[in-house]
Amino acid sequence: MAGSILGNRVLRKEDPKFLTTGGVYVDDLNSEPLLVGALHATFIRSTVAHANIVSIDVSDALESPGVVAIYTAADLGLEPVAATFNPMAKRTLLASNKVRYVGEPVAVVLTKLANQGEDAAEKVIVDYDTLEVLIDIEQAMTSTTHIYEECGSNVVFDSTAIGMPDNTGDAMFADCEVVVKGRYVNQRVAPCPLEVRASAAAWDNDGRLIQWMSTQHAQGARDTIQAANGLDAEKIRVITPDVGGGFGAKIAAYPEELVLGAVAKKAGLPIRWLETRSESMTALGHGRAQIQYVTIGGTKAGKVTAYQMHVLQDSGAWVDLGAILAPFMTRPMASGVYDIPTIEIRTTSIATNTTPVVAYRGAGRPEATAAIERAMDMFAAEIGKDAAEVRRMNLIPKFLEPHATAIGQTYDVGDYEESLNRVLAAADYTKLRAEQAARRASGSVKQLGIGVSVYVEITAGNSTGEAAKIEVTQDGRAIVYTGTSPHGQGHVTSWAMIASDTTGIPMDKIDVVWGDTDLVPKGGGTMGSRSLQQGGVAVHVAAGELVEQARKHAARLLEANEEDVVFDKAAAAFHVAGTPAVAKSWADLSIALAKDGGLIQETDYVSQGATFPFGAHVSVVEVDTETGQVKMLRHVACDDAGKVLNPLLLEGQIHGGIAQGAAQALLEEVRYDSDGNPITSNFADYAFISAAELPSFEVIHMETPTPRNPLGAKGIGESGTIGSTPAVQSAVIDALAHLGVRHIDMPTTAERVWSEIQKQKAQANS
């Protein structure tokens, strides 16, 4: 509408605080009365990957300075809990009989000062009877050593068990003129939020557990903490202050957070806990971790007619989110943007002696996109055609009504060819190919690589809506209560924009409250790129209902018929048509309604279904053929997230996503030695990308509104990651295609690239 603030580049309201006084994180809660006199928790973690626990000797540690107590699972009376997605797998929150990965918590030391715990923890002696260590998922899949003996296998979830077809045969490719097979590794990565996990727990005088934690979903954490402590619903409150990044890894509550309530109760004192960076790298959930066996077939002209994939998903040492990412997130999106008539995907999830895998930015969809995009590149190379043109001829045509794929997923709207056209034009694809040809002809040491990806993803796929409440105060301000939880996304700005656009209350007079289960008891949290299309829409609906409620009260105060009352949004006031001088402001209405509970509107918005953002990326890299060193030169992205609320926030999400996706393609990888010891447990060993390795990104705007919510918005938080990873990997391989290179697994490090070049040279000379 004319004059609407929506769609404009509005600066973030939250930035002045973060840039001046700084955020208030869990570790900053120094003046909280309930935490006065708190003890500090340090977790004793397993130093072996797989073993039975023979004994735990804490006698020497108890004599260390500042030590108040040391608790094991037995001391706390912890009972085994069953895994959500395979109840045969059970563990105690502190390992009792068995440890299954390096970093698993075994006991907890309580000290008076934070810096006393580490020294004391080193004095705890755990006697282990070691077992065979299973790091490789293909080895674990067939091993007779079982990480959870009750499961009878390390295969903890298989899509065939829930009625999905077994796709091990090749009959579907019988009529294909060209068939290409590949084995792709979508490597294990660490989320690396700048704020590591932190939590504090205290019991108040009413026997109520109050717990502060760095989480993406306060209400979900409340429910799991409540269950872990055997509490009634009214006996638990979770509070989330500012959160310094999550990337999916902070959706669920972990054993350390779940056990703090029991620790605080037994100690009779509040407890604070802050993990170290090395703990975060080994105990915070990891992401990705798939091996993908892919077969793609079609005609020599370039039409793909069949696609098959068997995904081996490493779930790590616990059977939770990591076990279901492949069947429920990778499988439905496996065909991507392509009109492939015959497609089948099987997934197998396997437990290993590694850090449990959780939902990491994109959670299964980046893996699906990486597989199909890599397969399209391999297919194009096999038939000798340009990779972008092979993609174009296989794209699903533009559709503005729901489209069902052969795998059974129904997309909302899409115009994939237009996104490809825009990104190729912006990158000047033809000129890039000409420059590449010139470098190849000259035999240049530094070769140019051009990678293209086209993607579609699902957002808000596992949630049905969101709660929102708006309260107008007596000074005319508004407070928005939301069930979503920001950790960098800009919700304070976004929700204020939405509320202001409908109510006329200026943005600087709108506050946003989240992450306190007493103030916001219902909420779906922030994950899966759901916030705007569900949380934001809930605020939009609540604001509209608030205006209608206010109109009724204004009519009564103005002694007029409701239909004669006009809402002047510019003045943020209600008046009778034709008499604007006599009006009732939001403050007037709130004061008048004070004795009746105030002016408040609460809404439970029910969504109309998931949305499917899409786009296309072009990445340009330079590869030094003498050293294998890769340098990103350009990255052009066209990400369509439906109707855009704030282009500034949109671009920020895309930029962050590209950086994270490029980092996986080029640098990042969690690695273990043969004994299961992590060898990438800090930022010195784990290749964490910085601005120095990245070019300035070029963002091309495109909007295809979805009909599935009133704002027409789709998610954007994960799109940049999904589109960038395969484009960057493809660009590296493309730079070396003239040397015979067809595939390099991620990360495409200098060592890996150089080794592949030497391999091709040796084959050429043999």
In a domain, 1, yes or no: no
In a domain, 326, yes or no: yes
pLDDT digits (tens, 9 = 90+) for 60-106: 999 999 999 999 999 999 999 999 889 999 999 999 999 999 999 99
Token digits of residue 207? 């026997």
Q: What are phi and psi of 759, to 5 degrees?
A: -60, -45
Q: Which long-range contacts does 670-674 make (Cβ < 8 Å, 24+ apart)?
A: 670/187, 670/188, 670/189, 670/190, 670/281, 670/286, 670/355, 672/49, 672/135, 672/354, 674/133, 674/135
pLDDT digits (tens, 9 = 90+) for 540-558: 999 999 999 999 999 999 9
In a domain, 150, yes or no: no
Whether the ω angle into residue 397 lies within 30 degrees of 0, i.e. cis, is: no
**Cα torsion for 114, 116, 122, 128, to the nearest 10°?**
-60
pLDDT at site 162: 77
Which of 101, 157, 150, 90 minimizes the C-alpha distance to 312? 157
CA distances to 673, 697, 747, 754 from 666, rounded to whole Å, are 21, 16, 5, 13
Q: Return the HEC string of 435-466.
A: HHHHHHHHCCCEEEEEEEEEEECCECCCCCEE
Strand order in the sheet with 465-472: 510-513, 478-482, 465-472, 599-606
In a domain, 281, yes or no: no
Residues 473 and 574 placed together within one structural domain of the fold: yes
In a domain, 140, yes or no: no
Q: Tell which of 550, 580, 606 closes a domain.
A: 606
pTM (2 decimals)? Answer: 0.97
pLDDT at site 1: 39
Q: Tell which of 606, 621, 638 closes a domain.
A: 606
Residues 449 and 541 placed together within one structural domain of the fold: no
578: Cβ contacts below 8 Å, ≥ 6 apart? none
Residues 578 and 672 placed together within one structural domain of the fold: no
| Segment 695-713 mean pLDDT | 97
pLDDT at site 167: 66
Grade residue 160 by pLDDT with cuts at 50, 70 and 90. Answer: confident
Element (H, E) at 55: strand 51-57
Average pLDDT value for the chain: 97
Residues 396 and 419 placed together within one structural domain of the fold: yes
Please spell the DSSP secondary structure of 216-264, one letter per residue.
S-HHHHHHHHHHHTT--GGGEEEE-------TTTTSSPPHHHHHHHHHH
Residues 472 and 390 placed together within one structural domain of the fold: no
Residues 317 and 359 placed together within one structural domain of the fold: yes
Residues 312 and 435 placed together within one structural domain of the fold: yes
Sole residue written with tokens 């999400």:
653
Which of 604, 596, 498, 509 minimizes the C-alpha distance to 547? 498
pLDDT digits (tens, 9 = 90+) for 287-332: 999 999 999 999 999 999 999 999 999 999 999 988 999 999 999 9
pLDDT beyond 60 at 2: no
pLDDT at site 170: 85
Instruction: Kindly report the CATH number assigned to the domain that includes residue 584.
Output: 3.30.365.10
In a domain, 303, yes or no: yes
Residues 475 and 593 placed together within one structural domain of the fold: yes
Domain that holds residue 488: 461-606
In a domain, 147, yes or no: no
Structural contact between residues 190 and 197, judged by C-beta atoms closer than 8 angstroms:
no
Token digits of residue 213? 């934690």
pLDDT digits (tens, 9 = 90+) for 662-685: 999 999 999 999 999 999 999 999
Q: How many domains does the chain have?
A: 3
pLDDT beyond 60 at 507: yes
pLDDT at site 168: 61
Residues 627 and 533 placed together within one structural domain of the fold: no
Residues 647 and 589 placed together within one structural domain of the fold: no
Residues 452 and 465 placed together within one structural domain of the fold: no
Looking at the DSSP assignment, which residues form a beta bridge with residue 681? none
Instruction: Kindly report the CATH number assigned to the domain that includes residue 223.
Output: 3.90.1170.50
Cα–Cα dist 112/69, whole Å: 10
Residues 443 and 429 placed together within one structural domain of the fold: yes
In a domain, 744, yes or no: yes
Cα–Cα dist 296/475, whole Å: 64
Q: Tell which of 212, 234, 269 closes a domain.
A: 269
